[in-house]
């Protein structure tokens, strides 16, 4: 099993060590304190590998940066990373190993819901604090020392639909009707039902509410139904590439919905899709003003571009995944610094009673499931790039919400 | 009650996707029926072809029809090589499913390694092409896929039906020993056929690249429906596979248009079960 | 000599083994091999057809050594088999079965001529040529099996139990056809349990018991031997 250390490369380390020893020979008489070891697994291989890579880069950027500035509590930070192969069962045993064999000081959660739950259960057994960055269903994390860095609030199924409909309600001609189709994927379904119920409550006509099989091979019939219903707002509870498939299918039958929202699209492909202009989706971070001035953004953004490009990723902008992972590390460091300790109980207690300034904004953890506010935003494809259009405070100066 | 436009559009969409189902299922059907290999690696090979079409088109400026000129013979050779390996390893009908599944996973990993798990879309410039017939839209690429599938299916079917080589292949599938007694060198013919199966995967892949968005994990989503298509169409029957593909595409699409789309996958398997119970002559 | 087999040893899986069998068939001859069930008759004939490869001995046709010839090339040397229980390509039509028989390129050139000969021999097949072979009656299937072998334009026709499972009237038809084929100039090796029929038609016969040839010669002298009469015709006198 590969073990990844956050060191540039063996050759770079060796040469810099050699250089450092030449320069400091005779001057440095004390030994450096042992590094703080932070253990984590990520899906470095398997179906989740692509998105997990984003998390790895963000974590590495944070660790490199904190070490550049003297480390944490005067000690350098070492990132101990294992490959969980996109499998929750692997994750469970690797976290056991991290805690009992590697004796890491702190742990970080892995990528994706199933792995996160597995890691939380191990953390709970050893009383470790665990900050997770990729699980929307916060109510599944009942462990009292588990903290979300993603922030849909304690009840996203209620607060998320509100964000979307509020956003559209702010436009000159709010939608009078909505057509909803959702992939049969747990988190997509609860969002879809949430938006259906809220739309009805607000007097928006629900043209149809459909569920389709995940993953979908053929979006053409669904596109035909959207065209037929001709609702003011198309709401697709999709995952990954389905958003692109629907847009292509709608283009083929010469239909462009006046307003559209996609739940969990693949950000890059949707932004660059020929028919993607004007499409909206959730966001928590886009690297444009004012968010590019948030704490840590100056570190994360340039480093992420560089590393993502080097890793051959087609979409190198900082988005939800990278920002949330980075924020998770900011929370961990903040709790350690504030309590001057690596004690799990003390750190967890501090987080519950304090707010942390992160790259995604100010987070608090004093509500149900250690949640705070729903900080979800709505972003829109404008000229091939994502722009946050709602809430207005996060809009880049000079941009507008493009709506009929 | 759905509108006529919706129904008509759904029928068109279903029939057209049936062409792609037929192309994808052809390799499995032929190899299962005539080589006695349940070869699921063709789905992965189809995606390999799709990624190569994407790669050639996006980074080398090679038009998809030139990709076809390269990929179809290349995949033919790949199929021959694959068959040679299977013969060397003494793969049987029983073990073929496991071996080829392993191969499919391997190819999927290779694709993921080269092109990452990220979504890839081949912007050929043709995806928006569509023609309008009355109130209905017929997407050009999907239509071309169906036309190609039809031409290939009829050609392959006729080849198997009317030529000596075709008859020999069918005979050897039923009783290789007796076929050999009449001078049929089954080994040599089976190389030809496995090359053809693999070439089918190449053609399917080119259309997948043109029509769909690519991700390595998409490979698995086609296997279930392709098995249904093969069994409904009659194992070893390329024309049957195409007709079954159209039938399933049509049924799924209409289901998605008039009821809950989530029921669509049930439709293909319901058709399969009904046909297995009813056992019409052609299955 | 057309076919020459000497000291053949054949063993294959569950098939009864054959030891030290020497046998020959000359141009224009009908030779029968008789023997009880399990004596190795089918093993022997399958080896002569190339389906089973002998472990030892020599096998040749018209001076060509067959021991190193590939199974699928036996028919190129003029050997065609009508196998036990016919083994038709059941899902294919009658004519497709016949076409498989005439698959080798030399035979293909004479396709129409051969087809006419087969239909002349078995007129019932002409009207059924588009039917699925597996759905025909037993007698008709036997006709297809013989016709298929004739399509290969053999010099030597190997027939394995052509009367098996057929009604007596049909058996007569089949043997009549064999006679006509023979008169057309094809040498015939016949393996048969119907000993009276087999000996009636044959120029010479071999008796195979437990994998070994125990007697051979012209039918009359063979039938004159009491032990053979007793064993195969059920009476001693």
CB pairs under 8 A between A and B: 126
| Tokens representing residue A161 in the block | 């639909």
Q: Is the model's pLDDT at C92 over the cut of 80?
A: yes
Nearest to C81 among B164, B181, B184 (CB): B181
- Concatenating the DSSP letter of every residue in A27-78 gives T--SPPPPPEEEEEEE--SSTTHHHHHHHHHHHHHHHHHHHHTT-BTTB-EE
DSSP, collapsed to helix, strand or coil, labels residue C90 as coil
Lowest mean pLDDT among A356-360, B239-243, C145-149, C225-229: C225-229
Chain A residue numbers touching B218 (CB-CB < 8 A): 215, 241
Every domain of chain B and the residues it spans: 4-264
Q: Which residue of B has its CA nearest to A184?
A: B262
ipTM entry: 0.91
Helix (H) / strand (E) element for C198: namely helix C195-201
Task: Tell me the sheet residues that pair with B232.
Answer: none
Which stretch of DSSP H or E encloses residue B188?
helix B186-211
Give me the mean pLDDT over the A117-126 stretch: 95
The per-residue pLDDT for range B77-112, each reduced to its tens digit, is 999 999 999 999 999 988 999 999 999 999 998 998
Decide if B178 and C71 are in contact by the 8 Å CB cutoff.
Answer: no
CA-nearest residue of chain A to B258? A225
Q: Which domains does chain A have, with CATH numbers?
A: 3-22+32-151+291-370 (3.40.50.2300), 160-283+377-394 (3.40.50.2300)
Percent of chain A with pLDDT over 70: 92
What are the tens digits of pLDDT across the range B139-165? 999 999 999 999 999 999 999 999 999
Chain A contact present for B71, CB below 8 A: no
Domain of residue C41 covers 1-77+195-237
* B249 contacts chain A (CB < 8 A): yes
Question: Does residue B200 have a pLDDT over 90?
Answer: yes
pLDDT at B281 (0 to 100) = 64
Residue C221 located in a structural domain = yes
**Residue B2 in this model has a pLDDT that exceeds 80:** no
Q: How far is CA B90 from CA B37, B86, B179, B189, in A?
A: 11, 6, 20, 17
Residue-averaged pLDDT of chain A:
89
**Neighboring chain B residues of C108 at a CB cutoff of 8 Å:** 164
Say whether residue B105 is in contact with chain A using an 8 A CB cutoff.
no
Query: Per-residue pLDDT averaged across A71-75, rounded?
Result: 94
CATH of the domain at C234: 3.40.50.300
Instruction: Establish if B36 touches chain C: CB-CB under 8 angstroms.
Output: no
The per-residue pLDDT for range B216-225, each reduced to its tens digit, is 878 888 888 8
CB contact, 8 Å: C62 with chain B? no
Amino acid A332: pLDDT: 96
pLDDT at A24 (0 to 100):
46
Closest listed residue to residue B19, CA positions, set B139, B143, B137, B156:
B143
Q: Do chains A and C touch (3 or more CB pairs under 8 A)?
A: no
CB of B217 within 8 Å of any CB in chain A? yes
Residue C88 has pLDDT above 60, yes or no: yes
| A169 closest CA partner among A161, A179, A158, A157 | A161
Which residue is closest to B4 within chain A, CA to CA?
A228
Question: Across the interface, do B181 and C50 touch by the CB < 8 Å criterion?
Answer: yes
Cβ C92–B167 below 8 Å, yes or no?
A: yes
- Picking from C72, C91, C148, the nearest residue to B184 by CB comes out as C72
Q: Per-residue confidence at A31, pLDDT binned at 50, 70, 90?
A: low
Any chain B CB within 8 A of the CB of A252?
yes
When scoring B46, B54, B119 by the number of chain A Cβ atoms within 10 A, the one with the most, hence best to mutate, is: B119
For residue C92, list chain B residues with Cβ-Cβ distance below 8 A: 167, 170-171, 174
Which of B33, B164, B173, B181 would you mutate first to test chain C, the one with the most C CBs within 10 A?
A: B181
Instruction: Give the one of C51, C103, C148 whose C-beta lies nearest to B177's C-beta.
Output: C51
Chain C hits for B173, Cβ within 8 Å: none
Cis peptide before A391 (omega within 30 of 0): yes
- Band of pLDDT at residue A30, cut at 50, 70 and 90: low
Whether A6 shows a pLDDT value over 60: the answer reads no
Nearest CA among A223, A279, A268, A266 for reference residue A248: A223
CB A251 within 8 A of CB B128: yes
- Residue B256 CB-half CA count within 13 A: 35
pLDDT at B282: 58
Dihedral in degrees, nearest 10, Cα atoms C4, C9, C15, C16? 100
User: Facing residues of C25 across strands?
Assistant: C3
Contact call for C148 and B184, based on CB within 8 A? no
Q: How confident is the model at residue A14 (pLDDT cuts 50, 70, 90)?
A: very low
Residue % of chain C over a pLDDT of 90: 82
pLDDT tier, A13 (very low <50, low <70, confident <90, very high otherwise): very low
Cβ-Cβ pairs closer than 8 A, B with C, add up to 67
In chain C, whose CA is at the least distance from the CA of B187? C72
**Does residue A250 have a cis peptide bond before it, meaning omega lies within 30 degrees of 0?**
no
Under an 8 A CB cutoff, do B128 and A251 touch? yes
CA distances from C108 to B147, C153, C158 (A): 34, 10, 20
Averaged over A17-34, what is the pLDDT? Answer: 53
Q: Using pLDDT thresholds of 50, 70 and 90, give the confidence band for residue C235.
A: low
- Closest to A319 (Cα-Cα) out of A371, A372, A270, A248: A270
A222 has a pLDDT exceeding 60: yes
Q: Quick check: B167 and C96 CB within 8 A? A: yes
Check CB contact of C134 with chain B, cutoff 8 Å: no
Sorting pLDDT into bands at 50, 70 and 90, what band is C215?
A: very high
**Which 180-239 residues of chain B touch chain C by CB within 8 A?**
180-186
The shortest C-alpha distance from B5 to chain A (Å) reads 8
Q: Does B163 touch chain C (CB under 8 A)?
A: no
Asked if the C-beta of C129 comes within 8 angstroms of chain B's C-beta atoms, the answer is no
pLDDT band for position B1 (cuts 50, 70, 90)? low
DSSP string, A341-402: S--HHHHHHHHHH--EEETTEEE---SGGG---B--EEEEEETTEEEEEESGGGSPTT----
Residue C144 within a domain: no
- B partners (3+ CB pairs within 8 A) are A, C
Per-residue pLDDT tens over the stretch A35-67: 999 999 999 887 778 789 999 999 999 999 999
CA distance B203 to chain A (A): 18
Mutate which: A217, A254, A256, A317, vs B, most B CBs within 10 A: A217
List the alpha helices (DSSP H) in B116-174.
140-162, 164-174
The CATH architecture of the domain made up of B4-264 is: Orthogonal Bundle (1.10)
Are the beta carbons of A110 and A46 closer than 8 angstroms? no
pLDDT in tens, B16-31: 999 999 999 999 999 9
Residues of B in contact with A220 (CB under 8 A): 10, 13-14, 16-17, 142, 253
Side-chain half-sphere exposure of A281, counting CA atoms within 13 A: 32
Question: pLDDT per residue over A253-300, tens digit each?
Answer: 999 999 999 998 888 888 888 889 999 999 889 999 999 999 999 999
Q: Report the domain count for chain C.
A: 1
What confidence tier does B113 reach under pLDDT thresholds 50, 70, 90? confident
Q: What is the mean pLDDT of chain B?
A: 92
**Contact between C72 and B174 using a beta-carbon 8 Å cutoff:** no
Is residue C84 within 8 angstroms of chain B, CB to CB?
no
pLDDT higher at B54 or C234:
B54
């Amino acid at each position: 099993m590969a073990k990844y250390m956050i060191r540039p490369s063996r050759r770079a380390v060796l040469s810099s060590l050699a250089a450092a020893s030449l320069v400091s020979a005779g001057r440095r008489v004390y030994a450096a304190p042992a590094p703080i070891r932070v253990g984590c697994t990520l899906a470095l291989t398997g179906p989740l590998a692509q998105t997990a890579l984003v998390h790895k880069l963000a974590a590495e950027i944070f660790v490199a940066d904190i070490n550049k500035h003297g480390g944490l509590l005067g000690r350098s930070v070492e990132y101990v990373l294992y490959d969980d192969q996109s499998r929750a069962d692997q994750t469970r045993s690797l976290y056991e190993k991290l805690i009992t064999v590697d004796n890491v000081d702190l742990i970080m959660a892995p990528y994706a819901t199933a792995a996160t739950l597995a890691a939380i259960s191990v953390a709970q057994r050893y009383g470790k604090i665990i900050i997770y960055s990729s699980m929307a269903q916060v109510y599944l994390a009942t462990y009292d020392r588990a903290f979300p860095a993603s922030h849909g609030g304690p009840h996203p199924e209620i607060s998320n639909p509100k964000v979307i409909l509020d956003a559209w309600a702010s436009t000159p001609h709010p939608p009078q009707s909505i057509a909803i189709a959702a992939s049969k994927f747990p988190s997509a379904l609860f969002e879809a039902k949430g938006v259906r119920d809220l739309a009805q409550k607000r007097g928006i006509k629900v043209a149809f509410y459909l569920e389709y099989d995940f993953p979908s091979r053929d979006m053409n019939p669904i596109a035909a139904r959207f065209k037929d219903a001709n609702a003011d707002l198309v709401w697709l509870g999709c995952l990954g590439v389905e958003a692109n498939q629907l847009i292509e299918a709608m283009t083929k039958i010469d239909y462009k919905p006046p307003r559209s929202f996609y739940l969990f699209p693949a950000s890059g492909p949707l932004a660059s899709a020929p028919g993607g202009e004007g499409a909206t989706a959730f966001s928590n971070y886009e690297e444009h003003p004012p968010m590019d001035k948030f704490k840590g953004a100056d570190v994360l953004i340039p480093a992420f571009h560089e590393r993502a490009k080097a890793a051959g990723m087609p979409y190198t902008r900082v988005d939800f995944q990278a920002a949330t992972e980075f924020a998770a590390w900011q929370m961990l460091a903040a709790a350690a610094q504030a309590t001057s300790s690596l004690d799990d109980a003390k750190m967890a207690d501090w987080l519950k009673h304090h707010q942390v300034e992160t790259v995604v904004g100010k987070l608090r953890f004093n509500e149900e499931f250690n949640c705070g506010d729903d900080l979800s935003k709505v972003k829109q494809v404008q000229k091939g790039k994502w722009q946050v259009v709602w809430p207005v405070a996060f809009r880049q100066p000079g941009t507008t919400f493009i709506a009929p | 009650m759905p509108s006529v436009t919706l129904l008509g559009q759904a029928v068109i969409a279903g029939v057209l996707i049936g062409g792609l189902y037929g192309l994808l299922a052809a390799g499995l059907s032929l190899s299962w029926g005539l080589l006695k290999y349940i070869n699921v690696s063709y789905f992965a090979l189809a995606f390999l072809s799709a990624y190569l079409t994407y790669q050639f088109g996006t980074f080398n400026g090679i038009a998809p029809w030139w990709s076809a000129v390269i990929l179809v013979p290349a995949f033919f050779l790949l199929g021959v090589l694959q068959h040679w390996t299977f013969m060397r390893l003494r793969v049987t009908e029983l073990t073929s499913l496991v071996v080829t599944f392993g191969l499919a996973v391997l190819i999927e990993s290779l694709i993921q390694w080269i092109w990452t798990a990220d979504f890839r879309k081949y912007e050929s410039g043709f995806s928006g092409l569509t023609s309008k017939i009355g109130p209905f839209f017929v997407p050009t690429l999907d239509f071309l896929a169906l036309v190609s599938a039809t031409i290939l299916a009829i050609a392959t079917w006729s080849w198997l039906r009317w030529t000596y080589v075709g008859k020999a292949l069918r005979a050897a599938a039923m009783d290789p020993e007796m076929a050999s007694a009449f001078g049929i060198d089954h080994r040599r013919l089976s190389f030809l056929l496995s090359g053809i199966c693999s070439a089918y995967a190449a053609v399917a892949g080119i259309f997948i690249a043109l029509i769909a968005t690519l991700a390595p994990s998409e490979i698995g989503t086609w296997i279930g429906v392709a098995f249904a298509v093969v069994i409904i169409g009659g194992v070893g029957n390329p024309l049957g596979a195409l007709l079954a593909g159209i039938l399933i595409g049509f049924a799924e699409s209409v289901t998605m248009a008039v009821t809950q789309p989530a029921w669509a996958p049930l439709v293909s398997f319901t058709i399969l079960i009904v046909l297995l119970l009813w056992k019409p002559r052609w299955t | 000599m057309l076919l020459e087999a000497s000291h053949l040893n054949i063993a294959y899986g569950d098939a009864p083994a054959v030891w030290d069998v020497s046998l020959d068939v000359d141009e224009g001859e009908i030779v029968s091999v008789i023997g009880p069930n399990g004596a190795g008759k089918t093993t022997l004939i399958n080896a002569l057809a190339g389906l089973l490869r002998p472990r030892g001995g020599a096998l040749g046709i018209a001076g060509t050594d067959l021991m190193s010839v590939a199974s699928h090339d036996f028919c190129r040397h003029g050997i065609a088999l009508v196998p036990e229980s016919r083994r038709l390509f059941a899902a294919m039509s009658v004519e497709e079965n016949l076409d498989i028989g005439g698959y080798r390129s030399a035979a293909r050139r004479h396709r129409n001529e051969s087809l006419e000969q087969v239909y002349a021999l078995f007129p019932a097949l002409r009207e059924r040529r588009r039917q699925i072979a597996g759905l025909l009656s037993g007698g008709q299937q036997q006709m297809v099996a013989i016709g298929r072998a004739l399509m290969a334009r053999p010099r030597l026709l190997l027939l394995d139990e052509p009367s098996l499972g057929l009604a007596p009237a049909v058996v007569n038809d089949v043997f009549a056809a064999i006679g006509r084929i023979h008169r057309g100039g094809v040498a015939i090796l016949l393996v048969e349990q119907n000993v009276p029929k087999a000996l009636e038609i044959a120029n010479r016969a071999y008796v195979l018991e437990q994998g070994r040839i125990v007697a051979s010669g012209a039918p009359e002298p063979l039938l004159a031997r009491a032990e053979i009469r007793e064993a195969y015709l059920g009476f001693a006198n």
